[in-house]
Structure 1
Amino acid sequence: MTSSLIHKATYEADNSFDSSIREAFQLLEPQLRPPFPLTIRTEPEYFNLNRAILYGILCETHLAKVHIKHLHGIVIDGYCFFTSLLCRVVDELYSKLVETVKVQLVYVTSVMIDVSAIGIDNLLVALLRQICGGDLSDANLWLCSEMVNIFRGKWECLLEEHPIILSSALYVFLRVLSDHCRVSLNSKLETLKQKEIDFCIRIFRDEFHLCLKIGRDVIRLLQDLVHVPEFQDLWKDLLLLPSSFKTSGFSDISQLYQSRTCSRYFLLRITPEMEAHLRFLLAEVKIGSQTRYQVWFGRKFLNAPEKETVLIDIVRFICCAHHPSKDIIHSNVIPRWAVIGWLLKCCTKNHIEANVKLALFYDWLFFREDVDNIMNIEPAILLMVNSIPKYIHMTHNLLDFLFLVMDQYDIDRKDLILKGVSSALDVLERKGVVRSFDVLTSCDMLFSFLKEKLVKILS
C-alpha cells in the first residue's frame, strides 16, 4: 500500500513515521468501520488504534467524521497521544503532505480545540511554525489564512483555556504582516491582511496583558507596521495614552522595552527543518568547512529575493534561542558571530540589512544585567572585534548603526537606551567576553569619530 499521506519520489526511502501509522491503518482497517467493537484494549493496542484512526481521518476524507466519532468513543487519555501524533505529522511531514491531507489536518485541529484536547497548544504552535517568513506562495498564504481563521473563530475558547497561545499567534501574525503589507494589488492577499490586522488589533485593544507577555520584541515588530492606519492609531496610544489599554501596572512603553522576550517566540519564526540545519551548522561544522553548508542552506531557505526577510528571524533566533555550551564555544566549531556575519552579507536590500542589524543589537538597547542574558548580546561584540582587521568595513558598519539607533530609535527615551548600551558594554568586558575595548578604541583602521563616540559611552 503506497502512502496517501505524503508526496514521495521513487528514489526516496520510506518515512518511518508515515509507515507506522499507515501500517496501523492496514492492520486495523476492519475495526475502523461501524459497528465498532466494544473491547477493552491494552495500552499498545490503544496507541495503535490512535495511529490507525489518525491515518483514516487524514487520508479518507469522505469518512473523516466517522473516524472522529470513533476517536471520541475510544479516547481514555484526554486525546493526549492523538494530539502528540498530530504534532509529529506537522513537525516531521508537513512540507511533504498531500494538499488534501493539509486541509484535513486543519480540520482535525479545529475539532481538537472543541474537545479541549491535552496538548492542543503544542499543536497550534507546531502549525504556526510552518508559516514561513517572506514566503508569498499560495500554499503558505493558505496556511496563514486557515490559522488566522482558527484563532478568530475559536477566540473565546482559546482565551479561556490557552491564553498564551494567543500571544504566540500575535507574534507570528505581526511578523508576517510586515511581509504581506509590502505587496499591493493582490485581492486575495488584501483579504488575508485585513483578517490578520483585525486579529492583532483585537488582542492589543482587548487583551493587552497578552502583549506584555511577549516583551520588547512586540515593539520591534510593531515598528514595521507603522505605515498601516490601524497600527498608526495603536502606536499613538502606546506613546501618548497608555491608560487606554486598561492594564494594571502599564504606564509607559519603557516597561515593554525593559522586558526580555522569551526564546520560545523566536522559535515560532523558524521552521523545525530550518532549526535543525541551523543547530547542526552551529554545533557540528568546523571553521573552514562551513562554505558548502552555507551555500546549501541559502539554496534551500533563501532562494528568492522576497525570502530575505527571514534573515531577521534567523539572527534573532541565533542571538536569543541558540546558546552553545562552553565545550562548543571553546572548540573549533564555527561560532555564532561568524554565521551572523555571513547572513549580513546575504542582505541585498537596505531595509532588510537595517532590520537584521536591529535584530542583532536589539537587546543591547535595553540591557539590564538582572533581566537579560549576556549570550544575547555576545555575537554582536564578537563580530565587531573579530572583523578587525580583515573585514574592518563590517566593524565600521555595525558601530555606526549602533550609534545611529541609539540617537534615533526613541528620541524621548534616549537616556534609557544609553543606559542599556552602557550596561551591555560593561557586562561584556567585566565577564570576559572581550578582554578590553582597547581593541576598538586603539585601532588605527577604525574611523576616529566612531572611536570618539565609543570612548564617550565607555566613560
Structure 2
Amino acid sequence: MQSKLVNRSAFEAETAMEIRLREAYSSLEPKLKAPFPLTIPTPEEYSALNRAILYCILCETNIAAEVHIKHLHGIVTDGYEYFTALLVNVVNELYGSLVDSAKRRLIRVTHEMVNVAAVGFDGLLVALLRQIVGGDFGEENLWLSFEMVNLFSSKWECLIEEMPVVMTGALYVFLRLLADHCRVNVPNIEPLRRMEIDFCVRVLRENFSSCLMVGRDLIRLLQDLVNVPELCAVWKDLLYNPKTFKVIEFVDISQIYSTRTSKWYFLLRLTPQMESQLKFLLTHVKFGSQKRYQSWFAQKFFSVPNRSGAVVDIVRFICCSVHPSNEIIHSGIIPRWAVIGWLLKSDFQSYVAANLKLALFYDWLFFDEKMDSIMNIEPAVLLMVHSIPRYIDITHTLLEFLFMLLDNYDVERKAIVSRGISTAFQTLVRKGTIIPIAPNVKSGIPNDSLIWQLSINSYWNCG
C-alpha cells in the first residue's frame, strides 16, 4: 500500500519513525475527530496522541491539518517539547523521502512552533537548515531555501531576541548558499537570491555583536561574495569603517581573525546523511580499503553538476570537527589527510579547488596555540609530508598556495598572517606532528624534499 507520508518503492521497508507515527494514528483515530475528548491523558497516552496528531498534520488535507494544529494547542502540557522533538526526528530521518505535501505542511507547523515559542524549536530550525543541500539547484531544494530564509526574515524580532545563536547559524548557511546561487542563472532563482542578500545584510548591519561569535570563517564566506554590491559594502565597512557596526569593542577585523569558528557552524552545511557517511569513513574504514567507499560517496554527493562546491564544507568539517582519538589514529583507519588528498585530486572547477585549499589552510593564517587546536592544522601538514614520496606535485601545489596566502591574503595585516603560519609550523614540530627533514639519498627521501625543509625554515623566520 502506498504510504501517505513518504515516497517509498515497493521493495523498501517502513522506517521505525514512520511505523510509530502510523500506529499511533491507527490506535487513536476515533479521538482525532471533533468534538475532541476532554479527559486528561496519561503520559503514555499523551505521547501517542502527539504522534497521531503529527501524522494527521503531515498526511491529511491543509484544512484538516489546521484543525489538528488547534487540537495540539488544546492538549499540550509540556511546552510542545515532545512534539517538537518528533518534528526534529522526522526532519533528520525522513525529510528526503517525504511526499511534497508533507514537506509543505512540515514548514507550516514549523512556523507555528516558532509562533508559540515551543521548547526546542531552535533544534527544529537547525535540522531544516541542514537539509538545504549546497550546489543543488533542483526545484525542491531551492523551495526549501526560499521557505527557510522567508521564515527567518518573517520571524525576525522573535528569533533575534530568543535565539541569536540560531540567527548567526542562518547567516552562515545563507552566506554559503549565496556563493552558489550567485554563480548560476537558473529559472526563478533571482527572488531567492534577493531574499538571501537582504537577510544577510540585515543580520550583519543590525545584529553585528552576535555575528562576531561566528568567528574567522565569517570573513572567509564574505570574501567569496565581494561581487555582490550590498555585501561588498559590508566588507568595506569591516575593513575601513568598523564604527558603522556600533559595537564598541569591535575596532578592527583582526579581532574576528583571532576567533576560532565553532564546529557547530561547519555541521550546518552537511546533511545528516553526509555527516554519518564521513564519520563512518573516518572511524571504521581501514587505510587501503577506502576506494569503494570514496567512489560511493562521490557518486552520492558529487555526481550532480555544481554539487562539488560542497567539498569546501566537507574539508572545513574534517579539519575542524572530526578530531579522531589516539585509538583511531593508531588503528590503521584511513587518516583525515588521506581523505582530503583524495578530494584535492578530484576533478573540480578551478574556483572550487582554490576554495578547498583555503579551507584546508584557513586556521593556519591566524593560528594561536592558546586559542586554536593543533588538530585543525594537522591534516594540511600531514598531507604535504605524506605526498612527498609519490605525489610531490601536491606538496608543491599546497606550499605554493600557502606562500601565495602569506603574500596576498591581507596585505595590510601581513604580520598577523606571517605570525599565524610561523606559529603553526613551530607548534607542529614541537608537538612531534612532523619532524624536520633534509635530503638523504641513502634513506630514499627525494631531493625535492629540500623544498619542504627550506619552506619550513623560511616560515620560521617569516614573522
| Structure 1: distance between partners of 2:280 and 2:340 | 15
| Structure 1: distance between partners of 2:450 and 2:323 | 34
Query: TM-score with structure 2 length normalisation?
Result: 0.96
Cα separation, partners in 2 of 1:441 and 1:277, compared to 1, 3 Å:
farther
Query: TM-score with structure 1 length normalisation?
Result: 0.97
Measured after TM superposition, the shift of residue 38 of structure 1 is 1.2
| Structure 1: distance between partners of 2:349 and 2:54 | 45
Conservation of the 8 A alpha-carbon contact between 1:243 and 1:251? yes
| Structure 2: distance between partners of 1:440 and 1:232 | 47
What's the CA shift string for 1:272-327, capped at 9, x where partnerless? Answer: 00000000000000011100000000110000230110000000000001111110
Give the AA of the match of 1:120.
Answer: F
Cα separation, partners in 2 of 1:191 and 1:153, compared to 1, 3 Å:
same
Task: Tell me the residue number matched to 2:148.
Answer: 147
Conservation of the 8 A alpha-carbon contact between 1:385 and 1:395? yes
Conservation of the 8 A alpha-carbon contact between 1:396 and 1:447? no
Alignment of 1:28-427 (within 5 A): 28-61=28-61, 62-184=63-185, 186=186, 188-427=188-427
Give the AA of the match of 1:437.
Answer: P
Cα separation, partners in 2 of 1:441 and 1:301, compared to 1, 3 Å:
farther
Give the AA of the match of 1:429.
Answer: V
Measured after TM superposition, the shift of residue 125 of structure 1 is 0.2
| Structure 1: distance between partners of 2:254 and 2:60 | 53
| Structure 2: distance between partners of 1:327 and 1:452 | 33
| Structure 2: distance between partners of 1:367 and 1:175 | 23
Over the matched positions of the two proteins, sequence identity in percent amounts to: 56
What's the CA shift string for 1:86-129, capped at 9, x where partnerless? Answer: 00010001110000000000000000000000000000000000
| Structure 1: distance between partners of 2:120 and 2:394 | 45
| Partner SS state of residue 188, structure 2 | helix
| Structure 1: distance between partners of 2:151 and 2:34 | 30
Conservation of the 8 A alpha-carbon contact between 2:439 and 2:450? no
Task: Tell me the residue number matched to 2:457.
Answer: 455
Give the AA of the match of 2:66.
Answer: K
| Structure 1: distance between partners of 2:79 and 2:137 | 37
Which segments of 5 or more consecutive residues in structure 2 lack a partner in the other structure? none
Cα separation, partners in 2 of 1:439 and 1:196, compared to 1, 3 Å:
farther
Measured after TM superposition, the shift of residue 447 of structure 1 is 7.4
| Structure 2: distance between partners of 1:334 and 1:94 | 31
Cα RMSD after superposing both structures: 1.5
Tell me whether 352-361 or 441-450 shows the greater mean CA deviation: 441-450
Conservation of the 8 A alpha-carbon contact between 1:396 and 1:446? no
What's the CA shift string for 1:368-396, capped at 9, x where partnerless? Answer: 11111111111001101111211111111
What's the CA shift string for 1:39-95, capped at 9, x where partnerless? Answer: 122111110100000001111123011111111111111000000000001000111
Measured after TM superposition, the shift of residue 235 of structure 1 is 1.0
Give the AA of the match of 1:364.
Answer: W
Measured after TM superposition, the shift of residue 456 of structure 1 is 1.7
Measured after TM superposition, the shift of residue 348 of structure 1 is 2.3
Cα separation, partners in 2 of 1:89 and 1:304, compared to 1, 3 Å:
same
